[in-house]
Structure 1
Amino acid sequence: MNPTGQALVVGGSRGIGAAIASALATEGWPTTIAARDSAQLERCRLQAAERGLKLSTARVDVTSQESVERLFGELTPRGELGVCVMAAGRNLSRRLLRPPRDAAEEWSAHDVGEWRDMVDLSLTGTFLVGRAAALSMARTGTRGVLIPIVSSTWQGSWGQSAYTAAKAGVVSLTRSWALELGEFGIRAVAIAPGVVDGAALREKCARNPAHARYMERLRQQVPLRRFAAEQEVAAAAVHVAANQYLTGTVLEVAGGGFPPRIH
């Protein structure tokens, strides 16, 4: 690969985002990780320095237009932007309706506040970052790429109304951006991982045996009978950055498919 410009990974201080940032930096991209957690950002910076990687950090709140614009103002003096990965987000499992567990309880429904928080973070946050990145690339004439990280559940998943709707919206953004921005040489490709076997998942399973049993049932329903490694998702991002004719699509890294409901 012959990197052009710099790379930005928003939501890159841990998990998939951190793995992607490390992979891009290893390939020679001057890389910036942007996230909200200052302490985690500092840990990333120190770890990169120990490995001799060219990696910078910056704080950002993707739900704030002002914060996103400030981030891109800081990036401009560092050179043109060639890759922008949007990995900020979190999972949310909430059923639309929950039946009463006993005669004393009432039916409950998905909280609208949680819905709005998820849409703000995953969908509006991606829009704000993607818009700023596209504008930066267009102004400098950079043939760059926008890479939103979605989920293999974007086509719908039991118990995840807000999460999957937001991710489906990001897929639609990606395809629309590819159509609009192609004339400027700017590409857009979404990466959709299945379950990723990272530190967060292992810690949750260690704390909650019931969740560990659930995840084991899920693993058995993935065709490859295993979850993805963070480095495998990162390798997909490096491939997208390198392939100049790849745009307007969703690259699934899901081991053959994520089951819509776990049995």
Structure 2
Amino acid sequence: MKRVLITAGAGGIGRAMAEAFEVAGYEVWVTDVDADALSGCPAGWQCHQASAADEDQMAAVFAQIDRLDVLCANAGVAGPTALVEDIELADWRSCVSVNLEGAFLAAKYAAPLMKEAGRGAITLTSSTAGLFGYPNRAPYAAAKWAVIGLMKTLAMELGPFGVRANAICPGAVEGPRMEGVLAREADAKGMTRDEVYRGYAAGTSMRSFVEASDIADMAVFLASDQARMVSGQVIAVDGHTENPDPRI
């Protein structure tokens, strides 16, 4: 049975990924900082409380893994919603740490296992914020752009060992995390939540948010043999974002 490790896998997009991989027949390992969310995971999953940006905690998780077929480095936080001049350095660093360093640490410890096996697939969760500039979201956008650079480098370094690396760029995903973003952005821009929501939806060709299951389906595909020659790619699952903020 193939094994997948998903960071931030106990809720949101990560939980959808874990459920999709389980259906696909994988042995599922997840890490998450949320103990309550982990306690609600299925009994058959290997669940570990760990911060993706804490090297000691991630090293302890990987010390228990003797092989790994798929890594989904999915951990991320929205970070502050404010103009650049109003962002505190501590908030910038916190956002970049989880979104970028979390992906780096997961890849750092997964790479030797996959190189030894001569196969593997790494998928990093970026964002459409890694494809466009996003007003009031500077640290998040900067980190998600950097995640793509990390992925491109992983693809080049690991390709000779039969290991592929790709990045998924979700658009606006229905769920609690996006609701928090909508509320903060509405407050920052003096708008209502619904106005911000409609603005995000209007910025896509499909005029709609996406579901976490849409992201999960892409992750399972990228891990599959059907994607055996797909590497170094940035794949948006976003209903085609035309403009991240059509109001400006």
- TM-score, normalized by length of structure 2? 0.90
Cα deviation, 1:96-149, whole Å, max 9, x if unaligned, reads 13xxxxxxxxxxx3211111111111111111111101112123x141011110
Counterpart in the other structure of 2:243: 259
Structure 2 residue corresponding to 1:87, chosen from 74, 92, 110: 74
- Identity fraction in percent: 27
SS in 2 for 1:240: helix
- Matches of residues 1-263 of structure 1 in structure 2 within 5 Å? 5-45=2-42, 49=43, 54-76=44-66, 80-92=67-79, 93-97=81-85, 109-139=86-116, 141-155=117-131, 156-201=133-178, 210-242=192-224, 243-257=227-241, 259-263=243-247
CA radius of gyration, larger in = 1
Instruction: State the 4+ residue runs in structure 1 displaced beyond 4 angstroms.
Output: 202-209
Tell me the SS of whatever aligns to 2:47: strand
- Report the counterpart of residue 100 of structure 1 in structure 2: none
State the secondary structure of the residue aligned to 2:48. strand
Post-superposition CA distance 1:193-225 (Å, at most 9, x none): 100012443577699892232112221221101
Unaligned runs of 5+ in 1: 98-108
> How big is the shift at 1:172?
0.2
Give the alignment's TM-score, normalised by structure 1: 0.85
Change over 3 Å in CA distance of 1:113–1:202 after alignment to 2: closer
Cα distance in 2 for residues equivalent to 1:44 and 1:258: 36
- Calculate the aligned-residue CA RMSD, in Å: 2.0
- Contact 1:204 1:211 survives alignment (8 Å): no
Is the contact made by 2:2 and 2:25 (CA closer than 8 Å) also made in structure 1?
A: no
